[in-house]
Amino acid sequence: MTARYETHGPVAVITLDNPPVNGLSLPTRRAITEGIARAEADAAVMAIVITGAGKAFSGGADIKEFTTPAATAEPNLPSVIAMVEGASKPVVAAVHSVAMGGGLELALGCHYRVAARSTQVALPEVKLGLVPGAGGTQRLPRVLGVETALNMIVSGEPVKAEVLAQLPGQKLFDEVVDSDVLAAAVALAGRVASLRPLPRVRDLPVKHPNPDGYFQFARNTVKAMARNLPAPARCVDCVEQSMKASFEAGLRYEREAIMALTFTPESRALRHAFFAERATSKIPDVPAGTPLRPIARVAVIGAGTMGGGIAMNFLNAGLPVVMLEQKQEALDRGVATIRKNYEAQVKKGKLKEDKYQQRMALLSTTLDYAELKDADIVIEAVFEEIGVKEAVFRRLDEVMKPGAILATNTSTLDVDRIAGFTKRPQDVIGTHFFSPANVMKLLEVVRGKATAKDVLATVMDLGRKIKKTCVVSGVCDGFIGNRMIEQYSRQAGFLLEEGCTPQQVDRAVEKFGFAMGPFRMGDLAGNDIGWAIRKRRYVEKPGMRYSKTADLLCEMGRYGQKTSAGWYDYAPGKRDALPSATVEQMIVEHRRTLGVSPRKISDDEIVHRLVYALVNEGAKIVEEGIALRASDIDMVYLTGYGFPLFRGGPMCYADTVGLFNVVQTMKRFAANPLDDADFWQPAPLLARLAAEGGSFS
């Protein structure tokens, strides 16, 4: 059973019981309607309470039913809510813990609502590119007012019941309690059992002193903040209907909106990302119940930008951190940077002073490896050179306690080789944080050939605790993200040789939706980093061709923002990228040495050469088993590289375009004599799926 029925004297209690969050699956919806019908037919029952078992009232739609016929099969959620609302006996919602999406809509269909003070309520459908679909856009404005309701619907963010209960005139909750919410709801049900008529949210008026002006303001705001997403604007339209139309007409308008949005590429991309994020934790040969190693103390080697950012993640999670450096000055600088970061949060009101002090109290520093011996995990964040890594791991092998996890933050180096510097390769793993490590969501967890399953499971769990999106990668040069970005960057360089300027390439890619184009990204990260990697490539892979423009740039000392000169010019202390006449002249002269006459290149060609370079390399990574699934690659690019969320990631975008079309375009690129024809041969997986009419998903 997905819902239980019992009686508390004259009050029937229907308890949703569909773990983990009491999703409103078809069996659960049936159980609710059966419970209502049973209570209606029982003369001894005077009132009804609906609540949820465990740690949720209801999290809304059951994600296992998404995109299946069961999601809309009768009784669908609007039908369930109509039955609850039309009951002849009062129905009270006992809301606790979480009431999200359809869960909140179900509560709004009840005649009365009692909430635990800490309950989180939300209508998060907009995050899936949709509008609430069971009356949320029509009922919430009636109980919270237009502005509060629209803010919740457009943002999708949860709000605590105690916050909403303090709003003047709110009618969402009849009672907000600290104690047993079910007992309070049963007591309320007893008190209102004989009261008629039954109050219905649908009968409440919707008012605003200046509706036309407000909704125009809301549309302008949404257009500026979510220009590539249609759902927020449709949310505004739906809420406006709650004022302009009858309740039933508003429901029909909402239903038409959700049906139209369901088939948009943006909603498909957002839903893909939703499921992709949940899939990242599923590792076929590491069962969910794998025992975890205890992590109570963390060590970080390196107090630079990366090491300090990594340390902050664990301090934020309440874990003590000891940070090691070779010199006291380096430690002092690192601690000062951490303090500065926290103080900025305090100043902006994002962090309370006492929390700041608590976090800093968890941080200790040392110059002595021996003082790391009690740490349960140590993460090195030292210079990206194999000799430096070797010295660190040989020392760690000597001092760390048995069972401690030894993690490397390398972004490209061989984790198996690093593990070989120790006598405990089973305890070694890659933890590739992205900069700034205290901000970026992505954590590539690199599994070596000897990495123990419990080590992998422990690090994945630890990543969730520090609020990272963890994606497992196998060992290869660059892992998932950096291996792919190298091909993207190669294409960007070839485009310069053929006729583009850096700003033209960046502008086209940013118009496509990237947070930042490849040349602005290079200036931010430091062009010298890519230069060091290319120098290694010239030795290891002499047959791989690169544009020489990036090397010429570095030879001029133009490393990016840190030198106030890169692909762009930068005014001292500012990050505004200004076109550089010096760089444009360098590119012109380089073309002359190649004997290349520049040609006009469309934005469409720019975008697809860069994005399909990601797709082709991504297909190779999936086929080689470096990534467990194509959707993992999408999560890497959505959370670590600024790929536009509304396009779902490179592999999802390729599916949207159609893999047959992707391959045909790649064939045209291969015919370009100035490009790399070998690279544009479709990866075997891509070629096979395209021929079969298949997709990465």
pTM of the model: 0.92
Q: What is the pLDDT of residue 529?
A: 85
pLDDT band at 575 (very low <50, low <70, confident <90, very high): confident
Arithmetic mean of pLDDT, 384-403: 96
What's the mean pLDDT when you consider all of the chain?
96
144-188 pLDDT tens trace: 999 999 999 999 999 999 999 999 999 999 999 998 999 999 999
Residues 422 and 511 in one domain: no
Residue 306 scores a pLDDT above 90: yes
Mean pLDDT of 441-453: 97
pLDDT digits (tens, 9 = 90+) for 612-622: 999 999 999 99
641 and 511 belong to one structural domain: yes
Looking at residues 660-676, what average pLDDT do you find?
Answer: 95
Question: What pLDDT does 541 receive?
Answer: 86
**Whole-number Å distance between alpha carbons of 300 and 409:** 10
pLDDT tens across 242-270, in order? 999 999 999 999 999 999 999 999 999 99
The mean per-residue pLDDT over the stretch 579-600 comes to: 96
Round to whole Å and give the CA distance between 304 and 327: 12
Cβ(18)–Cβ(2) under 8 Å?
Answer: yes
**528 and 570 belong to one structural domain:** yes
How many structural domains does the chain have? 3
Residue 45 has pLDDT above 90, yes or no: yes
Is 542's pLDDT higher than 90?
A: no
pLDDT at 572: 86
Report whether 16 contacts 52 (CB < 8 A): yes
Percent of the chain with pLDDT over 70: 100
Q: Residue 268: which H helix or E strand, with range? A: helix 265-279
Instruction: Please report whether residue 269 resides in a domain.
Output: no
Tell me: do 468 and 512 sit in the same domain: no
Is position 257 within any domain?
A: yes
Last residue of a domain, which of 217, 244, 262? 262
- 383 and 532, same domain (yes or no): no
Q: What is the CATH number of the domain that holds 343?
A: 3.40.50.720
- Whether 193 maps to a domain, the answer reads yes
Residue at token pair 């003590």: 320
pLDDT of residue 504: 97
State the pLDDT at residue 613: 98
- Percent of the chain's residues with pLDDT above 90: 91
Catalytic residue set: 105, 125
456, 473, 490: which is the final residue of a domain?
473
Q: Does 128 reside within a domain?
A: yes
**Sequence-ordered list of residues with C-beta below 8 angstroms from that of 494, at least 6 positions apart, any chain:** 547, 609, 674, 675, 676
| pLDDT for residue 67 is more than 80 | no
Please say if the pLDDT value at position 1 is more than 80: no
Is 277 part of a structural domain of the chain? Answer: no
- Per-residue pLDDT, 381: 95
How high is the pLDDT of residue 179? 86
Question: Which of these three, 420, 447, 473, is where a domain ends?
Answer: 473
274 is a domain residue: no
pLDDT tops 90 at residue 398: yes
Mean pLDDT of 346-362: 95
Q: What does the pLDDT read at residue 15?
A: 98
Highest mean pLDDT among 36-50, 527-541, 570-584: 36-50
Alpha-carbon span 574 to 25, nearest angstrom: 53
pLDDT confidence of residue 203: 97
Q: Is the pLDDT of residue 690 over 90?
A: yes
Range of the domain at 558: 481-692
CATH of the domain at 664: 1.10.1040.50
Say whether both 372 and 466 belong to one domain.
Answer: yes
- Beta carbons of 455 and 427 less than 8 angstroms apart: yes
| pLDDT of res. 73 | 93
Q: How confident is the model at residue 384 (pLDDT cuts 50, 70, 90)?
A: confident
**Tens digit of pLDDT for each residue in 128-139?**
999 999 999 999
Own/partner pairs for 660-663, CB < 8 Å, 24+ apart? Answer: 660/690, 660/693, 662/612, 662/615, 662/686, 662/690, 663/687, 663/690
